[in-house]
Structure formats: structure tokens, C-alpha cells
Amino acid sequence: MSALTDHIRALVDRVITGSDVYVVEVSVRGERSSTVVEVFIDTDVGISLEQCSAVSRELSVLLDEENVIKGRYRLDVSSPGLGRPLTLLRQYRKNIGRACSVTVRSASGSVRHDGTLAGVTDGSVSVTVRGKDIDIPFADIVQTVIVPTFK
């Protein structure tokens, strides 16, 4: 992370202190006249639009008061969404029982396992693929994405 994203992350942490909201990711992209600040937040039971709006309002005030970003910027505060890779242990726990796609490092490059997230420990995840559980150490995971299912 850059010093700017670290600073913004610290401000987000101030805003969400005392709530069940946690930060998934903070990113800053663009140039001076068109900077975009993206903040992805969540809770263990899902984030609401009202929670995103409240964090956005409070964070915007802090960004302006501290003049963190020179020039104009756009602030986007939202949930990580289905297509965004899981990055935190608590995101894995929240999604147990859901369809997922896990890309794993292997000697020959990478292997993708499509199945159901069956369990999570501090060091690994368990994915059920065609009826068999596969334990995957977190250190070997390149990316995990929740796959939407339609019934």
C-alpha cells in the first residue's frame, strides 16, 4: 500500500470504530484532476446501502478536513460484491456453504478448483469438489471468488 491509501485506510478505521463494519480494501486510482478513491467495506452478515452511505458521508468530511487528496476526487464506498476476490479470513467464514472457484499455485502454474466452500481454519480452507473435500493452505491460494448460483 502507498502512504496515501494507508492514510485513507486509517481514516476509514476511525469512521467504523465501534461498529461491526470492517474494511476489505482501499484503492486510489487516477490522476490529480480525476482521482477515484474506492473503499470496500462489509460486515459478517452483509453490508447495507445505509451503512455504505453513512461511512461515505463521514469519510468524505475527514478527507476534506485533512486535505488528504489534492484537487477533485470521487469517493466510492461499497460492498465488495460477488465478483471481487475474497481477501480476508472473515470473508471466507461468511461464505461457507456457497459455490466458489479457488485458484491454487502448483508446480506447473495454477490449478482451479470449482466447488463449495466447506470450511475454514486459521491456516486453510476446505472446498468440496465432486463430493470430495480438498484442504487448501491459504499460502497456496492465488484467488478465491464466490460463484453466483441461480435456483
CATH code of the domain made up of 89-146: 2.30.30.100
CATH code of the domain made up of 3-78: 3.30.300.70
> Which range has the worst mean pLDDT, 27-31, 37-41, 98-102, 132-136?
27-31
Give the residue-averaged pLDDT of 102-106.
94
> Domain segments of the chain: what residues?
3-78, 89-146
Query: Between the CA of residue 72 and those of 48, 55, 100, 112, 121, what are the distances in Å?
Result: 27, 19, 38, 41, 43
102, β-bridge pairs: 113, 144
pLDDT of 82 reads 79
Q: Write the pLDDT tens digit of every residue in 42-98.
A: 999 999 999 999 999 999 999 999 999 988 999 999 999 878 999 999 999 999 999
CB 41 within 8 A of CB 12: yes
